[in-house]
Amino acid sequence: MKKVALYVRVSCADQHVESQLYDLRKLAAQRSFEVVHEYEDRGISGNRARRPGLDALMADARRGRFSVILVAAFDRIARSTKNFLEIVDELNNLGIEFISASEAIDTTGAMGRLFITLIGSIAELERSLISERIRAGMRRSRADGVRLGRAPLQVNRAALLRDRQRGMSLNQVARAHKISKASVCRVLREEKAAVSRSHLPTDSIFSDNNQVALPISLV
């Protein structure tokens, strides 16, 4: 019975790996593989060459803990063709088979190696085309006068600063002005930066974590 390792990855922290694991466990059982370990990376992009789960997988591969690696799809292991082929090359040198469930291809033969190269290149090209379409759309939106990014914060800054100087907490200021605590902190940081650039006489206001210097004329 061959010993197999399962590797799963999701890009967003709120996504789940359970569906990938379910399919890989089922495939391992169908092939009479013994699952020795399951490695996972959550909330990490496949563009990153170094990942805790992947690093642990490769370290155990070098120790000979298993002879097969199962993944749900090529892009779970890596998104760039270069990184993907580097990993597969090392696995081949270690005598470890690489099997992708979605593509139904393994690296045990020359044909499998050819498919891996072709599919990896096509996937990378597709991602490049998607990125270019997104950039083109953003350029078109700017040309049409569409504002991109976060909308300006609608708040009476002078009143917010006065409330803060009077001793209101960040949470109290946020509730009074119907904005988030993070937005309050952003206003305070921006005012501190503005004061430091202007060199105006200042009075001191303390946030929960930072001292913020404000012009006397504002308070």
Q: Which tokens sit at 84?
A: 């993907």
Reading the chain (219 residues) residue by residue, the pLDDT tens digits are: 899 999 999 887 667 889 899 999 999 999 999 999 999 998 888 778 788 999 999 999 999 999 999 999 888 888 777 788 788 878 878 889 888 888 777 776 677 777 767 766 776 777 788 888 888 888 887 887 776 666 677 888 889 999 999 889 999 999 999 888 888 998 888 888 887 776 655 454 444 544 444 443 343
The verdict on whether 180 is a catalytic residue reads no
Catalytic annotation, pick one of 11, 80, 169, 207: 11
Sheet containing 97-100: order of strands: 34-42, 3-10, 68-71, 97-100, 105-106
Q: Are residues 70 and 165 in the same domain?
A: no
Q: Which tokens sit at 219?
A: 């308070």
Number of domains in the chain: 2
Q: Are residues 67 and 104 in the same domain?
A: yes
pLDDT of the residue at 22: 92
Distance CA 125, CA 115 (A): 15
pLDDT of the residue at 216: 37
pLDDT of the residue at 200: 54
CATH number of domain containing 9:
3.40.50.1390
Distance CA 76, CA 57 (A): 13
Query: What is the residue range of 80's domain?
Result: 3-128
